[in-house]
């Protein structure tokens, strides 16, 4: 399981009076949520979100959803457990603990595969999504962001429409298998937010992906503020 908190903190030297880089580097994942939330809270989340250009995305939602303080530490602890379980169930997925949330990347080689120019979910993808669904049911006090992406091959408008269909296809599969639609927000970005090099076949394959963000819902936040572990 990856954690990008250190990398994000290093990029914001101007906030060094608010965030102690040494404290972040030496903290475990749960403590990092508390450190960031206590010192900079939503301000840091907003700055990072704007800089990475993903405010309306899975990663942007995770970064921007900082609660902070002791409550942030409690939430971080719960997210640690959930992220570990996702990694165990989906070993090929890229699972990153960010602050108080989780970012999950499922590309066509590690989780959700679509046929060329198609948006229907095949058997292997269903199997992997079913594992996620079981975990989401086990941890019901979270909200879920689902977003679709494509590589840069083909027309921009076509890619945007295709990423919309694929993101909505995943959303529909989750809701048809017991995940409340009220927990889910769906975005699609076409080719505009690549994570990998589109000039290589491997990079394009990885950019054809579904990304999922997991953040605390209001119940988890209130329970954390009341000290409920």
- State the pLDDT confidence band at 115, using cuts at 50, 70 and 90: confident
pLDDT at 56: 60
Residue 158 has pLDDT above 70, yes or no: yes
Instruction: Answer yes or no: are the C-beta atoms of 3 and 32 closer than 8 Å.
Output: yes
Closest to 82 in 3D by CA, of 222, 228, 212, 218: 212
Q: Measured between alpha carbons, how far is 128 from 133 in angstroms, rounded to an integer? A: 9
212-218-223-225 Cα dihedral, nearest 10 degrees: 100
The alpha carbon dihedral of 84, 85, 89, 90 has a sign of negative
pLDDT of residue 136: 98
Band the pLDDT of 4: cuts 50, 70, 90: low
- Give, for 103, the enclosing helix (H) or strand (E): strand 101-107
Most confident range, picked from 33-37, 64-68, 217-221: 217-221
Given this model, what pLDDT does residue 9 score? Answer: 36
Output the six-digit token pair for 12: 């914001």
**pLDDT for 85:** 96
Looking at the whole model, is its pTM more than 0.85?
no
Range of the domain at 119: 2-225
User: Among the listed ranges 6-15, 114-123, 168-177, 183-192, which one has the minimum average pLDDT value?
Assistant: 6-15
CB 184 within 8 A of CB 61: no
Instruction: Find the farthest-apart pair of alpha carbons in the chain and give their distance in angstroms, rounded.
Output: 51
Scored b (16 or more CB within 10 A) or e, 199-219 reads: eeeeebebbbbbbbbbbbeee
Find the CATH number of the domain harbouring 187. 3.30.1330.60
Q: What is the DSSP letter of 33?
A: H
Sign of CA dihedral 68, 70, 72, 76: positive
pLDDT beyond 90 at 145 = yes
Q: Is the model's pLDDT at 5 over the cut of 80?
A: no
Residue 140: pLDDT band (50, 70, 90) is very high
| Domains held by the chain: number | 1
Least confident piece of the model among 22-26, 58-62, 162-166: 22-26
Q: Which residues pair with 105 in a beta bridge?
A: 94, 211
pLDDT for the residue numbered 70: 86
Hunting for tokens 């639609």 — which residue is that? 181
pLDDT in tens, 58-110: 777 777 766 778 888 999 999 999 999 999 999 989 999 988 999 999 988 77
């Amino acid at each position: 399981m990856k954690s990008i908190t250190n990398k994000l903190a290093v990029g914001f030297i101007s906030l060094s009076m608010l965030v102690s880089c040494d404290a972040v580097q030496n903290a475990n994942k749960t403590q990092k949520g508390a450190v960031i939330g206590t010192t900079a809270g939503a301000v840091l989340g907003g700055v990072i979100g704007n800089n990475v250009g993903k405010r309306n995305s899975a990663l942007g939602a995770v970064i921007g959803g900082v609660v902070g303080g002791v409550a942030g530490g409690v939430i971080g602890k719960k997210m640690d457990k959930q992220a570990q379980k996702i990694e165990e169930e989906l070993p090929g997925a890229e699972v990153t603990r960010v602050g108080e949330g989780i970012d999950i990347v499922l590309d066509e080689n590690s989780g959700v595969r679509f046929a060329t120019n198609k948006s229907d979910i095949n058997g292997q993808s269903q199997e992997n999504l079913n594992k996620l669904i079981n975990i989401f049911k086990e941890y019901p006090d979270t909200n879920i962001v689902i977003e679709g992406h494509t590589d840069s091959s083909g027309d921009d408008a076509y890619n945007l429409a295709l990423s919309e269909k694929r993101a909505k296809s995943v959303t529909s599969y989750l809701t048809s298998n017991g995940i409340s639609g009220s927990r889910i927000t769906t975005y699609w970005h076409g080719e505009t937010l690549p994570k990998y090099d589109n000039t290589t076949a491997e990079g394009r394959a990885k950019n054809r992906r579904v990304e999922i963000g997991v953040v605390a819902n209001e119940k988890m936040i209130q329970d954390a503020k009341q000290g409920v572990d």
